[in-house]
Each structure stands twice: as structure tokens, then as C-alpha cells.
């Protein structure tokens, strides 16, 4: 097979894949964005990839790791599709089998996630069906190149013909040159011009339609989101407002992070490739497990309870020295302690498992949630309903613990169990079951490699030790004394 042949065949495969993915994105508008094949397979990768590889991805791409994963998945799919296109020129059944494998992977990734149903298989199935039809159309159907840009070699003749006895004559004008017996004919052209135009026009039109379908699906999914429902939420006034900030808490220095982190600037770390869209009208919180009284609350029930407001700092365990994966906000919510007191945990229930709508779990010590700290089931952040990216309609906020053991977003369950009986999401992946925050600090100004002028230099930064507090910060320069 010539390189020209392989190029056309690979284009056919990539076009089929584009149609499959684009149409699946459109169908996922009805079944939910997590059922789209790229997102479903990406989520499967997040859940199953070895932890060292996951940490390598975070180190390389930082908070853009989710985008990098989706782009990488798409590139791998394109390479696989190109290979299927080439193999389909030899035998169409091979290409169709590859499409079926793609469908099986997408279905398995979609239906094995938490909170899904049989309908979540539809995007992968319908997308694969259309992709198979497009592949057939290019290989054996109406869009096939005629002839394909390759010719099989002519087998050698069994024996040389006898010499000709006819007198030599001059070749006619325009006649093809004679060929010796057993030689292959000259390679055919890559399809006649009309056939090439039909092939390339069809590929371009289908890729364009796939792009419109995919982008349109994402746009429609956004329109079906919960932003309007969030904007309609009216938060109740807290019965216990947050204490006033002490004078001088915010120094308002250039490059120094503000004392209260704006919602748009608050760090986001989670495993969700697409932000869950949870309708507050249908949202429910279930408190169950090893309790004497099971409780189920609607969002209206939650808002009707007495609310408290507190400044709480959250930090990610992956935050490096000098990193920005830490933020302080004014949270509004119901004390989790009160909910647990109503549920009455049974003896030995030393762990509260927070479970997200997408199945992610964190395990928090029951004693921590009942020791008097400001652990909240939060519905508000800095005076407005929780942003969708930060857990709307409700999430956990627990001072003194890293987010991976306490900060469950889009929460739907609080299950009382024990650390001996259940490992939350990150524990089997090598992380400690209990994650108390370590004291940490960061210099914000001057920044690394800032050029400084002679004279006095302002040094400022932040320090945090949630639930314990910071009494003072000492600084030293060039191994000099602490002061």
C-alpha cells in the first residue's frame, strides 16, 4: 500500500472518529455530559491510572491537568482511528471491529460511574453506529475513491512468450509504450479527479458537521446547566454572622494575596472532568449508615435550618512550598455537628464518608466533626450561593483537615461507618486516611527573581495552621537571626 493510499485511508478513519465523537456529544445533552465518550473514558483513566503517573501529570500540567487529559485522550483516539482506517482498506471487518471496541470502552466507562443508568450508554452506542457508517461509506460505499490510489502487483508470467515474427513497425502516436511480460503496470493515479473531489469534500463536510455537533452539544449542555437555578437561590441571614475582621488583616500590598480569597480566584482541585450540574430542586442529602436515625434533607429543608457564617481557610495536600492551592473564604452553612447529633451515630462509627454526586468519597473522623470546630455543610461562599465549580448546591467545609479527607463538593450523602470498614477515594491510592493540615507559610512579595532596588524592601506573605491558628511569623535573611 502506497503512502498516498495510507493517507487517504487514515483520513477516512479520522473522519469516522470525528463523526462518532461529535454526535455522541450531541446525544450527551440528553443523557448528561459525563456520559460523553471522551469524558467517560477520561474519568476511567483518572480512577485507574497508577498514582505515580497521576502525580506526574499534575507536576507537568498543574491545574490544567484535566484539559491535558482530554486533549491527550482525543489525540490517542485520532491515532487509533487513523490506524483503523488504514486496516479497513485491507479488510473492512477489521475497522468495524475497532469501532465496536471503541463503543464497548465508552459504554463500560460511562455505565460503571456512580449515579448513572442504562441511558448513559447511548452516546457511545449511537456515536459508534454513525462512525461505522461513515467508515463504510469511505471504504466500500458512495464516498469510496474509484480507483483507490494503489494497484496490486501483476504476477510474473509463467514463461517468456516466443519471439515475434512480425516486422517492426513504428509505434502509433499516443499509444502507450510496450511493457515486458511479467512487469507490473504503472501505479494508478489516486482516484480520478471527480472521485478525489467527492472523497475530500465528503470528509471535509463530515468533519465540519462533527465539529458543529460537538461544540453545539457542549453549548447546549451549558444552557441546561444550573446557573439560572443558582442565581434564583436566596440565602438566609445567618443566626451567627462571621466575626468582623481585625484591623490590619488585609494589608492591601501589591502581590500580597488578599485576606479573603475572591470566588473566581479560589483554587479548584477535584477529580471531575466536567463540573457536575446538580439541580437544587431535586437535590437530596441522605445521612445514613451506622446511625440510629436516618435523615434525608432537601435543599429547602437545609436552607430552613439556622445558619452560621465563618471564615475558614482550605488547603490542598498537594500544595507545594510557595504554592497557591490555599484560600480563605466566608462560608455560610449548617454545622455538621448538629446534623450528626440528630442522626445519633452508633458505637464504633468513627468515620463519616462524604459522597459526591459523581461517586467521589472522602473520609472524615467523626470526632473531628463533633469537637466544636466550625465544620459546616456549606451553601454560601463570600456572600453568594456556592459557585457551581465549588460544589453547588452544598459541600463540606472542615477547618484543620486537607481537602482530600474533608472537602466533599456536590455532596449527596453522609454515611457513618468506620475506618476499618471503608477506604475513601484517595486511601487505596496511597494517601493517609487522616489528613490534618500542617503549619505552612508563603512569601508573596518580593516574588522569586524580582529585581530589587537598594534600600528598604517590604517582605510580606501569608501563614496558616487551620484550627490551631498563627500567633506570630518570624523571618530571617541570608541565614541571619530569626526576627
Please check whether residue 464 lies inside any domain of the structure.
no
pLDDT bin (cut points 50, 70, 90) of residue 3 is low
Look up the CATH number of the domain holding residue 338. Answer: 3.90.420.10
Whole-model pTM over 0.85: no
Over residues 285-316, the pLDDT tens digits come to 999 999 999 999 999 999 999 999 999 999 99
Say if residue 320 is in the same domain as residue 386: yes
What integer is the mean pLDDT of 170-199? Answer: 55
Bridge partners, 330 (sequence order) = 311
Please check whether residue 204 lies inside any domain of the structure.
yes
Say if residue 210 is in the same domain as residue 268: no
Residue where a domain stops, chosen among 175, 202, 223 = 223
What integer is the mean pLDDT of 257-264? Answer: 94
| Beta pairing, strands 351-356 & 376-381 | unpaired
Please check whether residue 451 lies inside any domain of the structure.
no
Please check whether residue 80 lies inside any domain of the structure.
yes
Residue predicted with more confidence, 483 or 172? 483
What is the C-alpha end-to-end distance of the chain, expressed in Å? 76
Say if residue 76 is in the same domain as residue 216: yes
Say if residue 305 is in the same domain as residue 413: yes
Say if residue 200 is in the same domain as residue 273: no
Is a pLDDT exceeding 60 seen at residue 335? yes
Please check whether residue 31 lies inside any domain of the structure.
yes
CA max distance for the chain: 116
pLDDT number for residue 377: 98
pLDDT bin (cut points 50, 70, 90) of residue 146 is low
pLDDT number for residue 309: 98
Please check whether residue 176 lies inside any domain of the structure.
no
Residue predicted with more confidence, 51 or 14? 14
Say if residue 202 is in the same domain as residue 325: no
Is a pLDDT exceeding 50 seen at residue 468? yes
Please check whether residue 457 lies inside any domain of the structure.
no
**CA–CA gap between residue 327 and residue 335 (Å, rounded):** 20
pLDDT number for residue 409: 98
3-state secondary structure of 442: strand
Torsion sign (Cα): 170, 171, 177, 181: negative
pLDDT number for residue 189: 47
Domain count for the chain, please give it: 2
Over residues 413-463, the pLDDT tens digits come to 999 999 999 999 999 988 999 999 999 999 998 888 888 888 888 889 999
pLDDT bin (cut points 50, 70, 90) of residue 135 is very high
Say if residue 377 is in the same domain as residue 268: yes
Q: Give the residue from 345, 394, 404 showing the smallest Cα distance to 369.
A: 345
Q: Give the residue from 288, 272, 295 showing the smallest Cα distance to 354.
A: 288
Residue where a domain stops, chosen among 406, 422, 438 = 438
In the chain, how many H helices and how many E strands?
11, 12
Say if residue 413 is in the same domain as residue 268: yes
What integer is the mean pLDDT of 230-257? Answer: 91
> Which domain range does residue 287 map to?
263-438
Residue where a domain stops, chosen among 423, 438, 453 = 438
Please check whether residue 288 lies inside any domain of the structure.
yes
What integer is the mean pLDDT of 339-343? Answer: 97
Least confident stretch, 155-169, 200-214, 224-238, 395-409: 155-169
Least confident stretch, 170-184, 232-246, 324-338, 357-371: 170-184
Mark out the alpha helices in 232-292 (DSSP H runs): none
At 468, list the grid cell: 490551631
pLDDT number for residue 192: 65
Question: Average pLDDT over the chain, rounded to whole?
Answer: 87
Cβ burial of 194 (10 Å; 0-12, 13-18, 19+) is exposed
What integer is the mean pLDDT of 273-287? Answer: 94
Most confident of 45-54, 176-185, 268-277: 268-277
pLDDT number for residue 62: 78
pLDDT number for residue 147: 56
DSSP letter string over 172-192? PTTPPPP--TTPPPPPPPSS-
- Distances in Å between the Cα of 275 and the Cα atoms of 98, 177, 271, 278 are 30, 68, 10, 9
Say if residue 276 is in the same domain as residue 134: no
Residue predicted with more confidence, 188 or 195? 195
Say if residue 205 is in the same domain as residue 274: no
Residue predicted with more confidence, 170 or 26? 26
Say if residue 78 is in the same domain as residue 205: yes
Say if residue 340 is in the same domain as residue 214: no
Is a pLDDT exceeding 60 seen at residue 268? yes
pLDDT number for residue 332: 98
Least confident stretch, 125-129, 135-139, 245-249: 245-249
Amino acid at each position: 500500500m502506497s503512502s498516498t493510499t495510507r493517507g487517504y485511508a487514515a483520513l477516512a478513519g479520522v473522519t469516522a472518529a470525528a463523526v462518532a465523537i461529535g454526535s455522541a456529544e450531541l446525544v450527551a445533552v440528553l443523557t448528561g455530559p459525563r456520559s460523553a465518550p471522551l469524558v467517560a473514558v477520561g474519568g476511567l483513566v483518572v480512577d485507574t491510572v497508577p498514582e505515580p503517573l497521576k502525580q506526574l501529570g499534575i507536576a507537568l500540567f498543574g491545574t490544567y491537568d484535566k484539559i491535558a487529559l482530554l486533549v491527550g485522550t482525543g489525540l490517542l483516539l485520532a491515532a487509533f482511528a487513523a490506524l483503523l482506517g488504514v486496516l479497513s482498506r485491507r479488510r473492512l471487518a477489521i475497522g468495524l471491529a475497532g469501532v465496536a471496541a471503541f463503543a464497548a470502552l465508552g459504554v463500560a466507562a460511562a455505565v460503571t460511574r456512580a449515579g448513572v443508568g442504562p441511558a448513559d450508554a447511548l452516546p457511545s452506542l449511537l456515536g459508534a453506529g454513525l462512525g461505522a457508517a461513515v467508515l463504510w461509506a469511505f471504504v466500500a460505499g458512495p464516498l469510496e475513491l474509484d480507483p483507490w490510489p494503489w494497484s496490486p502487483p501483476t504476477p510474473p508470467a509463467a514463461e517468456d512468450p516466443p519471439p515475434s515474427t512480425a516486422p517492426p513497425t513504428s509505434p502509433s502516436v499516443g499509444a502507450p509504450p510496450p511493457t515486458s511480460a511479467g512487469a507490473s503496470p504503472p501505479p494508478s493515479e489516486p482516484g480520478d479527479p471527480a472521485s478525489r473531489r467527492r472523497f475530500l469534500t465528503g470528509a471535509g463536510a463530515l468533519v465540519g458537521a462533527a465539529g458543529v455537533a460537538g461544540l453545539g452539544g457542549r453549548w447546549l449542555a451549558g444552557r441546561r446547566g444550573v446557573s439560572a437555578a443558582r442565581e434564583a437561590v436566596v440565602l438566609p441571614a445567618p443566626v451567627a454572622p462571621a466575626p468582623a475582621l481585625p484591623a490590619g488583616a488585609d494589608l492591601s500590598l501589591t502581590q500580597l494575596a488578599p485576606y479573603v480569597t475572591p470566588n473566581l480566584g479560589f483554587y479548584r482541585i477535584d477529580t471531575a472532568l466536567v463540573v457536575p450540574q446538580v439541580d437544587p430542586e431535586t437535590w437530596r442529602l441522605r445521612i445514613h449508615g451506622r446511625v440510629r436515625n436516618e435523615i434525608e434533607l432537601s435543599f429547602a429543608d437545609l436552607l430552613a435550618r439556622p445558619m452560621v457564617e465563618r471564615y475558614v481557610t482550605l488547603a490542598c495536600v498537594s500544595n507545594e512550598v510557595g504554592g497557591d492551592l490555599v484560600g480563605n473564604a466566608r462560608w455560610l452553612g449548617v454545622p455538621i455537628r448538629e446534623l450528626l447529633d440528630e442522626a445519633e451515630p452508633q458505637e464504633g462509627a468513627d468515620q463519616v464518608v462524604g459522597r459526591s454526586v459523581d461517586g467521589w468519597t472522602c473520609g472524615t473522623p467523626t470526632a473531628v466533626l463533633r469537637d466544636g470546630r466550625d465544620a459546616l455543610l456549606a451553601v454560601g461562599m463570600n456572600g453568594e450561593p456556592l459557585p457551581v465549580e465549588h460544589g453547588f448546591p452544598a459541600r463540606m467545609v472542615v477547618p484543620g483537615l486537607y481537602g482530600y479527607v474533608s472537602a466533599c463538593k456536590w455532596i449527596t450523602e453522609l454515611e457513618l461507618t468506620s475506618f476499618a470498614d471503608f477506604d475513601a477515594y484517595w486511601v487505596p491510592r496511597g494517601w493517609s486516611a487522616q489528613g490534618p493540615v500542617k503549619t505552612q507559610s508563603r512569601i508573596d512579595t518580593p516574588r522569586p527573581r524580582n529585581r530589587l532596588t537598594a534600600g528598604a524592601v517590604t517582605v510580606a506573605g501569608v501563614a496558616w495552621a487551620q484550627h490551631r491558628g498563627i500567633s506570630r511569623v518570624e523571618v530571617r535573611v541570608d541565614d541571619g537571626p530569626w526576627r
